[in-house]
Amino acid sequence: MTRAGADGGAISATGAIRLVAQRELNIRLRTRSFLIGTAAIIAVIAGYVLLQVSIFGGADRTEVGLSGQAAVLAEPLRTTASDFDLRVETSEVADTGEARSKLEAGELDAVVSGNAAELRVLVKSELDPNLRAILTDMSRQQVLAAQLASAGVADPAAVLAEANATEVQVSMLAAKDPQADQRMVIGMIMVFLLFMAISTYGALVAQGVVEEKASRVVEVLLATVRPWQLLLGKVIGIGLVGLAQLVIVAGAGIAMATAAGVMTLSDVALGTLAWGVLWYLLGYFLYATIYAGAGALVSRQEDAQSVLTPVTMVLVIGFVVGLNLMLQDPDSTATRTMSLVPLLSPILMPGRVAAGQVAAWELSLAIALTLAGIALFTWLGGTIYRNAVLRTGSRMKLADALRG
């Protein structure tokens, strides 16, 4: 089109885009649905963190009560347990009555009494096999030490220390990453957040386009700004709202999980968030222009669903299939292949980055392909938008909108 002159009057292209984007930001950040939505997602994440705390936090700590002579075992029990990767907390129990009531109430997992060579354990229903092994081991050591002493061994403690230091040598073909589980959870949460952000805010773009068509305000706007400026401003404005929400939610999630001690990998999580932001931007731009083109095909909110569903379906399929593949094995060939498909990589790649190993070339290829996709779909979506945005009435055929 024609170029604006330099002596005032028409607004510059960047000025128009900024103004349109600003309006979107202003009205959407202030809406109740944004505030409630953000609060709701944070509440869900908080609930998830609490669940993790109660499942793992409670379960991986064993409360052992020590009664009578067994009280001296407090220190050796805790150290032996830590060799077995078991966290044991000890407390003293005065009598059998207290032991019973605390076991019934679930405050204690086991009560140990008797002398070291003859330990007795009282539990509610069953004894944790690890704790049983530890206690048995301690008992045996005690008996062994006594036997060695009575057999006239000069320094039974040295013999025992040597015996205890003996370990089998284990060689691993493929070492299991000790952080793998936590990484997987972080990856899955990121995938979920990205899916939510891209589908929600992409659909908002479509809704905004339909709203402008339905209210006919678009003709007033097009008398002063170009269609592509209007489209770009809208996409940027809504995208920033989505970005704000993503960062708030993910930041709150990481903060909560770290504070509650559920997550020890805050550097991994922050790295994942950084990648997540990049992929959100790529994925959002890719889908937003498609959503905008789809929205321009209809003139009434009632018809919007019919054109949005196909786009959302692609996202949902990518999400469901991708998530399942990732759960099975984040580094399988199928996951790796799918994560390179432009329409799917914005959801899968950040998950893979968090959960597994991604080669630099894969990441670069996925980014390059997605950028190419963005260019293609911006052109396609923009063309549809330009041709369809002034047409009112029934739903427009895609072919007509592309032809103009």
Partner 1 sequence: MRPHTLEVDGLRKRYGDLVALDGVSFAVNGGELFGFVGSNGAGKTTTMRIMLGVLAADSGAVRFDGEPATRHTRARMGYMPEERGLYPKMKVLDQLVYLARLHGLATNHAHAAAEHWIARLGLSDRRETEVQKLSLGNQQRVQLAAALVHGPDALVLDEPFSGLDPLAVDVMSQVLREKAAAGVPVVFSSHQLDLVERLCDRVGIIRSGQMVAVGGVGELTTGASSQLRVDVSGAPDGWADELPGVRVLRAAQTSTVFELAAGADDQAVLHAALAAGQVTRFDRHRPTLAELFRDVVTAGERP
How far apart, in whole angstroms, are the C-alpha atoms of residue 211 and residue 68? Answer: 77
Does residue 222 bind partner 1 (CB under 8 A)? Answer: yes
Nearer to partner 1, 27 or 375 (CB): 27
Does residue 221 bind partner 1 (CB under 8 A)? Answer: yes
184-205: b (≥16 Cβ within 10 Å) or e: bbbbbbbbebbbbbbbebbbbb
Pattern 122-161, binding to partner 1, x per CB under 8 A?
----------------------------------------
| Helices and strands counted in the chain (H then E) | 16, 4
How far apart, in whole angstroms, are the C-alpha atoms of residue 226 and residue 220? Answer: 11
Pattern 25-54, binding to partner 1, x per CB under 8 A?
--x---------------------------
Q: Given candidates 78, 100, 132, 226, which one binds partner 1 under the rule CB under 8 A?
A: 226
- Least distance (Å) between residue 200 CB and partner 1: 19
Strand partners, 356: none
Token pair belonging to 353 = 């980055």
14-22, 114-122, 245-253, 269-277 -> range binding partner 1 (CB under 8 A): 14-22
Nearer to partner 1, 230 or 338 (CB): 230
Nearer to partner 1, 100 or 226 (CB): 226
Query: Packing angle between helix 156-165 and helix 129-150, nearest 10 degrees?
Result: 140
Upper half-sphere CA count for residue 110 (Cβ side, 13 Å): 21
Does residue 5 bind partner 1 (CB under 8 A)? Answer: yes
Residues 6+ apart with CB under 8 A from 49: 253, 256, 257, 260, 262
- Least distance (Å) between residue 213 CB and partner 1: 9
127-135, 213-221, 268-276, 315-323 -> range binding partner 1 (CB under 8 A): 213-221
Token pair belonging to 45 = 């994440």
Which three-class secondary structure state does DSSP give residue 375?
helix
Does residue 10 bind partner 1 (CB under 8 A)? Answer: yes
12-20, 132-140, 344-352, 370-378 -> range binding partner 1 (CB under 8 A): 12-20
Say which DSSP state 72 is in: G
Q: Given candidates 79, 150, 215, 333, which one binds partner 1 under the rule CB under 8 A?
A: 215
Q: Considering only CA atoms, which of 271, 133, 282 is closest in space to residue 198? A: 282
Token pair belonging to 69 = 């002579």
Chain residues that interact with partner 1, rule: CB under 8 A: 1-5, 8-11, 15-16, 19-20, 23, 27, 211-212, 215-226, 390, 392
